[in-house]
Amino acid sequence: MPIPTPLTGVVPPVCTPLTPDREVDVPSLIRLVDHLVDGGVDGLFVLGSSSEAAFLTDAQRRLVVETVVAHVAGRLPVLAGVIDMTTPRVLDHVAYVTAAGADAIVATAPFYARTHPAEIARHFRLVAARSSVPVFAYDIPVSVHTKLDPELVLSLAAEGVLSGLKDSSGDLAAFRAVVTGARAQPDIAGFTTLTGSELVVDSALALGADGAVPGLANVDPHGYVRLDRLCRGGDWERARAEQERLCGLFGMVGVGDPARMGGGSSALGAFKAALHLRGVIACPATAEPQVPLSEAEVERVGKYLAGAGLL
Amino acid sequence: MPIPTPLTGVVPPVCTPLTPDREVDVPSLIRLVDHLVDGGVDGLFVLGSSSEAAFLTDAQRRLVVETVVAHVAGRLPVLAGVIDMTTPRVLDHVAYVTAAGADAIVATAPFYARTHPAEIARHFRLVAARSSVPVFAYDIPVSVHTKLDPELVLSLAAEGVLSGLKDSSGDLAAFRAVVTGARAQPDIAGFTTLTGSELVVDSALALGADGAVPGLANVDPHGYVRLDRLCRGGDWERARAEQERLCGLFGMVGVGDPARMGGGSSALGAFKAALHLRGVIACPATAEPQVPLSEAEVERVGKYLAGAGLL
Amino acid sequence: MPIPTPLTGVVPPVCTPLTPDREVDVPSLIRLVDHLVDGGVDGLFVLGSSSEAAFLTDAQRRLVVETVVAHVAGRLPVLAGVIDMTTPRVLDHVAYVTAAGADAIVATAPFYARTHPAEIARHFRLVAARSSVPVFAYDIPVSVHTKLDPELVLSLAAEGVLSGLKDSSGDLAAFRAVVTGARAQPDIAGFTTLTGSELVVDSALALGADGAVPGLANVDPHGYVRLDRLCRGGDWERARAEQERLCGLFGMVGVGDPARMGGGSSALGAFKAALHLRGVIACPATAEPQVPLSEAEVERVGKYLAGAGLL
Amino acid sequence: MPIPTPLTGVVPPVCTPLTPDREVDVPSLIRLVDHLVDGGVDGLFVLGSSSEAAFLTDAQRRLVVETVVAHVAGRLPVLAGVIDMTTPRVLDHVAYVTAAGADAIVATAPFYARTHPAEIARHFRLVAARSSVPVFAYDIPVSVHTKLDPELVLSLAAEGVLSGLKDSSGDLAAFRAVVTGARAQPDIAGFTTLTGSELVVDSALALGADGAVPGLANVDPHGYVRLDRLCRGGDWERARAEQERLCGLFGMVGVGDPARMGGGSSALGAFKAALHLRGVIACPATAEPQVPLSEAEVERVGKYLAGAGLL
């Protein structure tokens, strides 16, 4: 399906359930998609950072996108990440995710290789030239170690290279520059602006963003959909209360002992533990080399769920 | 062939010649290997950062390692990079480079994903457990954004996980801690310490490193081999003079206009332009999205070569 | 005067007008204060980053705080920065700003010296123990290169060490954790949360912040006061329009040529040029070693003012 | 006394002994100077990072420089740090250290304030214009968060602005560019290049540096002087052995528990504990807000001393 222009609402970055031996757990993935669709979400983003795309082999990535696109069957737009270091490698991912039927692709700036604004622009232009579906830029400095400049994003939008932005930079002021800049340019009226900052979705929507890509929406899609609808309805007070409830729930990302694991292991481990505790996925395993949560840490995830009325 | 323990001398990170349409130029790659072997080098490192591994598709990487291993035919050890974000993806590279006959693999810490010392250790352990050949750690903070801790490297060496270190951190004091630490532990006597810092190879060898992996050795293998032999012979004065000559030649990496391209585009562009000017490779193209050098910039590369008596 | 608990509204970081030979221009400083008071602001913050505190000698800092406190004469609370590297040096600043009559002090984490959360806590405890007035923490990672942890801020608040936070981190999610955390702890009900992010003041107030410290309020105090009142009145639509107008005006910080000067020279130069063009201060000079704006760049500042109806 | 051009040999950054209530302990400072002079050092650097200059008030700094210059009485050149955020503040330090009789000053790039190469150049030019004694640049990115560009250093040397460089960047390749660049420019033949990297002093001297400023030389001046003389004599093998002994001794900087304190607290605490254990200073206190070493940690310092035959 052609994605809406702009795409609005809640577009969760779909977690990738794994079996105990770290293969993609297809039945669990399908149940997770159903859980999200039932939650009322407006699109799905597979193979993003919260999907552990960086930890999945190409074969696993392909299986994920094929599974989700086939199961969704056009009910919702499916965006697919094509996360890799540079253009030639990204284009390999573009080939199979578009063959699988993804409705849009989501690409970061080059990483590992040292880069430069001119090279970032060249990268997106080449990717767009070879993609049969719209290209979203994925701004995630914590992973790629450069920040996309708002003016570059807007100029690539005006060129027809970029159709949207998924902003996980945490820099709301820069994101606002894109949101208001896009609105001010009638020729890019359909440009989509999505925030990946799950703790300030209300703020992002209030300043004009089209939607959100919250990792935590895997755990509580209904909450984020409710938040989105309250914002759209201009009920900012109740929106804030819902957002604050979700901020509290988000505390689960800190359950992992920092002496024993990184923040990513803790956060993704918590999301998967929560999905497991809620009965959505069969196994909470995260991909290697992430460190698994201990039993006690999983118990604390359970308390967050209970506190939020999700268990 | 089993790699020497330790591997000593000059082990250039072999550039990957490309055709004008950015396919691997196999005849040029073979000529480049001959050029290096003729220069007297002690090993070859394919699919490293200077090889543009980050820019090569899996098919291209496979072609490179197969071509070089077949052509070298056991005359020299061939190390192969398996650069990717995390363990499962690295293991896919391990499979084909070892199938192709690489004598050792060279792996970085995880990147893109947030990481942690415990996860880095877990990563190397898993990679080693699945590799049929020795594993070298590749310390390159400029690309992976974490620094390998000397104590971690030494403890993984003592465990039998790591067989060597390729240090491109620029932190000579930390590298020295590994070099002297390894010498002090008789159980890891064969551990190999290679510096990737082409401007202080004499310093690294003087403090006990086993060898060097200088990108510039693509352009002037004879120079680095000469430098290595002078250091081994304890002729530090002439070694310093040779190193300084090479430092001067290295100035070519700065020919690219920083307003128009990044430092990587400039450096790799210069190495390839030099190889082209010297008649070793057919085309100086670098992989996308790197920005090509201008004609004037290539001319300046020629002047560096002429100044060093290489043209 | 005792500062309100919490302090709410607009608290501009007062620019420090200089003479052409870089001495504090006292008459201009007084005019600037009057301009801000006439604009309706709720407090003044002297000797902050926008005040060029890092560029002022101790004698100049003392003159600034004495001048402003004396001129304000209790009509508004005056907060004073005590920006220096470590505790002993900060305490020297505490002595003269409190002697001058500042109503609160604003201190950063230690910088230049390598630091640690335990040392940051120790620092604030020692500063508070020696200060006769309330202590606000100043979170400004771009300058001090560490981020204050929300939990540390809240725990120091609960201890009675910190009375407020001025957040210039740009990390709205972390700021929200302090804002909602403070509201949830009845024992720190009077804790003040101020945002220094002038481009998302509406967002910060919407999520519960007490006020803002916008550098741009030097240029347009009326605008920020209007924005604050609209937010307090719950008129979010008009608030957003006002904020967007101010975001447009803020574009002036980019007038300086990045090939010739840093972002700080450009931004502070623009604010002072604007104040000069508006007739508030006698000379737009910034402190050394900042690079002055060119005439053409100052003209562009004028266009921003004209565009915002301020000229 | 006019400092030699170049200044060569060992120039320790003199620790600042403190009393238990954190005042400068003048008798201990004099004993420490005697200890260093007896050790055969070639100059003294007061008010550097290892001197805790960042933690000393202006009055304390003045007392330090006056005490040391008076006590040394021209027997050795005394360099004085003028560490502060920007030009005007640095100039205040220049005034009193030159009044006290310092033979040269050592200044960093601006910090806290965002900066730019053009502003760094302007800063050094202004400082030199106002200093009656030679100016050394202090390259210490870990503290000031920018790296001095070798070409900028050389061009400021050619202008007559800079008389030397103290390099604590850890980037030996960049330092080498200055060392060889200075040698290649006859007009700056007297330019002094000093390394602050105490673990690779042999490497730095081997590539042509004039001398070293090793913090650890407070603890073992004889060792560093011996190392320097061995290097000058071309006895690289014994030099390496001496350097490795000093690297082992340097391990003391890691005694502090990283869960409880930062690396700076640990390192400076260890140096002072060692000086106290060796009977040179009366009290091992470090300045606030550094965390003191525990008794057990001090014991470990003692073991390092004993292992090196210094107790």
What is the CATH classification number for the domain harbouring B130?
3.20.20.70
pLDDT tens-digit readout, C260-308: 999 999 999 999 999 999 999 999 999 999 999 999 999 999 999 999 9
Q: Are D89 and C57 within 8 A, CB to CB?
A: yes
Residue C236: list chain A partners with CB under 8 A: 206, 234, 236
Residue whose C-alpha is closest to residue C22's, from A32, D89, A239, A3 = D89
Q: By a Cβ cutoff of 8 Å, what residues of chain B touch chain D? A: 170-173, 176-177, 180, 197, 199-200, 202-203, 206-208, 234, 236, 240, 243-244, 247
Q: Are D240 and B172 within 8 A, CB to CB?
A: no
Candidates C56, C85, C116; nearest CB to D262: C116
How high is the pLDDT of residue D169?
97
Residue D81 pairs in a beta bridge with D106
Residue D180: list chain B partners with CB under 8 A: 244, 247
What is the distance in angstroms between the Cα of C221 and the nearest Cα belonging to chain D? Answer: 24
How high is the pLDDT of residue B147?
98
CA distance linking residue C113 with residue D6, whole number of Å: 29
Measured CA to CA in angstroms, residue B9 lies from B74, B202, B205, B220 at distances of 17, 12, 9, 15
How high is the pLDDT of residue D87?
98
Q: Are B173 and D199 within 8 A, CB to CB?
A: yes
Residue range(s) defining the domain that contains residue A82: 9-235
How high is the pLDDT of residue A20?
98
Q: Are D240 and B208 within 8 A, CB to CB?
A: yes
pLDDT tens-digit readout, C141-197: 999 999 999 999 999 999 999 999 999 999 999 999 999 999 999 999 899 999 999
Q: Which three-class secondary structure state does DSSP give residue B188?
A: helix
Residue C170: list chain A partners with CB under 8 A: 170-173
pLDDT tens-digit readout, C128-141: 999 999 999 999 99
Please give the DSSP secondary-structure letter assigned to residue C158. Answer: H
Backbone torsions φ then ψ of D20, nearest 5 degrees: -60, -30
Within 10 angstroms of residue B161's Cβ, the number of other Cβ atoms is 21
When pLDDT is averaged across residues C206-217 and rounded to a whole number, the result is 98
Continuous segment of H or E residues that includes residue A167:
strand A164-167
Catalytic residue of the set A138, A224, A272, A304: A138
pLDDT confidence tier of residue C311, bands split at 50, 70 and 90: confident
Report the C-alpha dihedral over residues C262, C264, C265, C270, rounded to 10 degrees.
Answer: 130
Q: For residue B298, tell me if it sits in a domain.
A: no
pLDDT tens-digit readout, D81-140: 999 999 999 999 999 999 999 999 999 999 999 999 999 999 999 999 999 999 999 999
Q: Which two tokens stand for residue C62?
A: 């003392």
When pLDDT is averaged across residues C101-119 and rounded to a whole number, the result is 97
Q: Are A236 and C236 within 8 A, CB to CB?
A: yes
Residue D212 pairs in a beta bridge with D10, D195
- In this predicted structure, the answer to whether residue B146 has a pLDDT above a threshold of 90 is yes
Residue A82: list chain B partners with CB under 8 A: none
Q: For residue B280, tell me if it sits in a domain.
A: no
Q: Which two tokens stand for residue B254?
A: 């700065």
Report the C-alpha dihedral over residues C150, C155, C158, C159, rounded to 10 degrees.
Answer: -140
> What is chain A's pLDDT, residue by residue, as a tens digit (311 residues)?
789 999 999 999 999 999 999 999 999 999 999 999 999 999 999 999 999 999 999 999 999 999 999 999 999 999 999 999 999 999 999 999 999 999 999 999 999 999 999 999 999 999 999 999 999 999 999 999 999 999 999 999 999 999 999 999 999 999 999 999 999 999 998 999 999 999 999 999 999 999 999 999 999 999 999 999 999 999 999 999 999 999 999 999 999 999 999 999 999 999 999 999 999 999 999 999 999 999 999 999 999 999 999 98
- Angle in degrees, CA C298, C301, C307, rounded to 5: 145
The nearest alpha carbon in chain A to C208 belongs to A240
Q: For residue B55, tell me if it sits in a domain.
A: yes
When pLDDT is averaged across residues C242-248 and rounded to a whole number, the result is 98
Q: Which of B91, B114, B152 to mutate to test the interface with A (most CBs of A within 10 A)?
A: B114
What is the distance in angstroms between the Cα of D235 and the nearest Cα belonging to chain C? Answer: 36
The nearest alpha carbon in chain B to A290 belongs to B119
How high is the pLDDT of residue D1?
72
Q: For residue A223, tell me if it sits in a domain.
A: yes
Q: For residue D1, tell me if it sits in a domain.
A: no
The nearest alpha carbon in chain C to D127 belongs to C289
Continuous segment of H or E residues that includes residue A79:
strand A78-81
Chains that touch C (3 or more CB pairs under 8 A): A, D
Q: Which three-class secondary structure state does DSSP give residue B219?
A: coil
Q: Which two tokens stand for residue C31?
A: 């005019």
Candidates B119, B145, B260; nearest CB to A262: B119
- As a residue count, chain D comes to 311
When pLDDT is averaged across residues D230-257 and rounded to a whole number, the result is 98
pLDDT tens-digit readout, B65-74: 999 999 999 9
Read out DSSP for B212-232?
Answer: E--GGGGT-HHHHHHHHHHHH
What is the distance in angstroms between the Cα of B197 and the nearest Cα belonging to chain A? Answer: 17
Candidates D89, D144, D265; nearest CB to C119: D265
Cα Rg of chain A, angstroms: 18
- In this predicted structure, the answer to whether residue B248 has a pLDDT above a threshold of 90 is yes
Sign of CA dihedral C30, C35, C36, C40: positive
Q: For residue B247, tell me if it sits in a domain.
A: no
Candidates A54, A85, A143; nearest CB to B54: A85
Q: Are B58 and A92 within 8 A, CB to CB?
A: yes
Could you confirm whether A166 is annotated as catalytic? yes
The nearest alpha carbon in chain A to B124 belongs to A289
Domain count, chain C: 1
Backbone torsions φ then ψ of D45, nearest 5 degrees: -120, 105
Within 10 angstroms of residue C112's Cβ, the number of other Cβ atoms is 27
Is D213 marked as binding a ligand? yes
Say if residue B27 is preceded by a cis peptide, omega within 30 of 0: no
pLDDT confidence tier of residue B2, bands split at 50, 70 and 90: confident
Q: For residue A153, tell me if it sits in a domain.
A: yes
Q: For residue A173, tell me if it sits in a domain.
A: yes
The nearest alpha carbon in chain C to D23 belongs to C88
Question: What percent of chain C clears pLDDT 70, i.e. is strictly above it?
Answer: 100
User: Which residues of D does the annotation mark as catalytic?
Assistant: 138, 166
Q: Tell me, what's the ipTM?
A: 0.97
Chains that touch A (3 or more CB pairs under 8 A): B, C
CA distance linking residue C233 with residue C239, whole number of Å: 9
Candidates C57, C89, C118; nearest CB to D261: C118
Average pLDDT, chain B: 97
Find the farthest-apart pair of alpha carbons in chain B and give their distance in angstroms, rounded. Answer: 54
pLDDT confidence tier of residue B166, bands split at 50, 70 and 90: very high
When pLDDT is averaged across residues B174-186 and rounded to a whole number, the result is 96
Are B272 and B15 within 8 A, CB to CB? yes
Residue D197: list chain B partners with CB under 8 A: 172-173
Within 10 angstroms of residue A129's Cβ, the number of other Cβ atoms is 10
Please give the DSSP secondary-structure letter assigned to residue A4. Answer: P
Q: Which three-class secondary structure state does DSSP give residue B105?
A: strand
User: Which residues of B does the annotation mark as catalytic?
Assistant: 138, 166
Q: Are D180 and B244 within 8 A, CB to CB?
A: yes
